[in-house]
Amino acid sequence: KQLKEKGFDANLSRLLGEIRERDQRDAARTVSPLKPAADAIVLDSSDLAIVEVVERILGLLAERRASAV
């Protein structure tokens, strides 16, 4: 929607393809490749509702706080 409002062609499948290509290039580069930090928590929210994502993040935060004590 934002792209269309700014006058850009917003073909969703092409845009997703471009994002995937960019991410692949960034992950495969020799210098400073794009990768999660060693202590990062990766949460795949693809099949989750916003409420579920928030609940999981809050649960992970509570776990981290409890283990830091």
pLDDT given at position 40: 93
pTM above 0.85, yes or no: no
pLDDT given at position 18: 93
pLDDT tens-digit readout, 17-55:
999 999 999 999 999 998 889 989 999 999 999 999 999
Nearest-angstrom CA–CA distance, 33 and 29: 5
pLDDT given at position 25: 94
- Does pLDDT of 7 surpass 90? no
- Does pLDDT of 59 surpass 80? yes
Question: Which residue, 31, 57, 25, 62, is CA-closest to 43?
Answer: 57
